[in-house]
Amino acid sequence: MIPLGQLRQLPLWRLAARAQPHVRWLSNYSRPAYRRFSSNGRPPFWQSRGFWYAAGTAGTGGLVYYELHIDESPTGRRRFIDISPAEEEKLGQAAYLQTMAQYRGQIVPRNAPADAFVRRVAHRVIGAAGLEGDWEVHVIHSPEKNAFVLPGRKIFVFSGLLPLAASEDGLATVLAHEIAHQYARHSAEKLSQAKVLSLLYMLVSLFVDPSLAQLGRSMTSLLLELPNSRQCEQEADEIGLNFMAM
């Protein structure tokens, strides 16, 4: 080792010559490539060829399933529905029982003026549209200005809507729109979309971020609770107007 005093007296070319072997050694040194392993010392499962074969098979099967369940709405719009009419009616019956329990004591009695009025207008629209089956009509005593139709031919009208409708024609317009939603199976369409969304979030949470699973459940619940899309609303308007014109 050269003393510090002598090192300061050496010319620069001598210092460079002495440092050159060390520089060559550092340039020849290559850091080993980093390779990520899982906790058991093996590469992550998603890096295996078998995983991608399985993913490709599942993806192809999913696309085939999706295409096989493409349905046309009454207006010719293509949409995905994988819920049968029988399943839809069963879900509607469950929602009907829940609604009747929720508004227990608020259901307007049969043959009361409001009930008779709504029932007369509803059957007028149903007859004009040529819809079959036994339809149930209920009036809920509430200031809420709303009406809805559940799968399985269950009609509910809030009494607060009646002054706003003002006449049989006004109420018929509202009921034709709500009946059109069920005629076009918009409830089944929304439930099918929720199933697809739930599956996508499950896959993302599995391979990207597990915390997204809760977000997926929240988004699916929100989709089911939100009103129908603008596209479905426009379609119900068109079908409802056709019902009124019959």
Gap between the Cα atoms of 126 and 175, Å rounded:
9
230, containing H or E segment = helix 230-245
Mean pLDDT (the chain, rounded): 79
Gap between the Cα atoms of 155 and 130, Å rounded:
16
- pLDDT tens, position by position, 187-231: 899 888 888 777 776 766 666 555 555 555 555 555 555 566 788
Q: For residues 171 and 189, is the Cβ–Cβ distance under 8 A?
A: no
Q: Is 233 a residue of the active site?
A: no
Q: For residues 190 and 197, is the Cβ–Cβ distance under 8 A?
A: no
Confidence of residue 148 (pLDDT cuts 50, 70, 90): very high
Q: For residues 206 and 106, is the Cβ–Cβ distance under 8 A?
A: no
Token digits for 17? Answer: 């010559």
Query: What pLDDT shows up at residue 64?
Result: 85
Token digits for 182? Answer: 């069920």
Gap between the Cα atoms of 142 and 160, Å rounded:
6
Q: Per the confidence metrics, is the pTM higher than 0.75? A: no
Say which of 88, 132, 136, 178 is annotated catalytic: 178
